[in-house]
């Protein structure tokens, strides 16, 4: 991780869960971290868990990733302050219960906007910054095991609706980005990290019963592992599941 010391990492969905755990790990390893969230004050709360010497390395910015104007405003601020972006962690995500056959289209559109379109918007801004500076950065996409396989759940209708569809898109986008980054003459890395069920606010109570779940810190450690690889090593896909006891 030494080569990333004092480099700039941007984390979306940084106010809680996996995003907050990633921010904490990056701060502890000497990076300048920008946490984007609709509730930036909760990003600032992360400072209570890291040594005081690291407090100056975190900036919390309000950003609603479902709003492209909000995304552009946040990235304009980051580039004006730091000059560029070196690592992007696309962590923000949305999920709601319901069946695709009957749920409101507004809910479908919101999930796709957050899980797919926002990822593209943020990655475009980060990639532009890296390429203009000829910097071999790293883009991380927080995916899901549901982006690879949709399990049967019980006897009733599955509750996943459009969510796994959005994550299958992330799996495809990872490979598209890998080919594009290479084809556009860069050595920018891209990694998809697909955790199984993780103990975060996004998980409905009904999903928790009798389940051994990953912790947010477990996923943050996967991000750490991916970005700590030497320049010639690229992890395309990393899948992590809890061991059921």
- Is 61:78 a contact under the CB 8 Å cutoff? yes
DSSP letters spanning 46-110? GGGGS-GGGGGGEEEEE--TTSHHHHHHHHHHHHHHHS--SEEEE-------S-TTTS-HHHHHH
Q: Is 139 helix (H, G, I), strand (E, B) or coil?
A: strand
The gap from C-alpha 186 to its chain's centroid, in whole angstroms, comes to: 22
Is 163 in the active site? yes
Strand order in the sheet with 138-142: 58-62, 32-37, 8-12, 87-90, 138-142, 189-195, 237-240
Beta strands 87-90 and 58-62, pairing class: unpaired
Q: Is 34 helix (H, G, I), strand (E, B) or coil?
A: strand
- For residue 199, CA distances in Å to 43, 181, 213 come to 18, 33, 6
| Residues pairing with 60 in the sheet | 35
Q: Which residue out of 95, 127, 163, 177 is catalytically annotated?
A: 163
Q: Name the residues annotated as catalytic.
A: 163
């Amino acid at each position: 991780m030494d080569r990333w010391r004092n480099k700039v990492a941007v984390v979306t969905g940084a106010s809680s869960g996996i995003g907050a755990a990633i921010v904490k790990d990056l701060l502890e390893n000497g990076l300048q971290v920008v946490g984007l969230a609709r509730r930036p004050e909760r990003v600032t709360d992360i400072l209570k868990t890291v040594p005081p010497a690291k407090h100056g390395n975190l900036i919390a910015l309000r950003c609603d990733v479902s709003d492209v104007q909000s995304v552009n405003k946040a990235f304009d601020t980051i580039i004006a302050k730091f000059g560029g972006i070196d690592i992007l962690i696309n962590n923000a995500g949305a999920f709601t219960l319901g069946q695709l056959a009957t749920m409101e289209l507004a809910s479908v559109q919101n999930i796709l906007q957050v899980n797919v379109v926002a990822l593209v918007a943020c990655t475009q801004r980060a990639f532009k910054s890296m390429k203009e500076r000829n910097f071999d950065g790293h883009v991380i996409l927080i995916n899901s095991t549901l982006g690879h396989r949709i399990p049967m759940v019980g006897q009733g209708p599955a509750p996943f609706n459009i969510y796994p569809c959005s994550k299958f898109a992330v799996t495809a986008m990872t490979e598209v980005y890998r080919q594009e980054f290479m084809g556009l003459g860069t050595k920018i890395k891209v990694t998809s990290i697909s955790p199984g069920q993780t103990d975060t606010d996004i998980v409905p109570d009904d999903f928790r019963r009798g389940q051994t779940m990953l912790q947010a810190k477990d996923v943050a450690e996967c991000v750490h592992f991916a970005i700590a690889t030497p320049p010639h090593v690229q992890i395309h896909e990393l899948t992590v599941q809890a061991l059921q006891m």
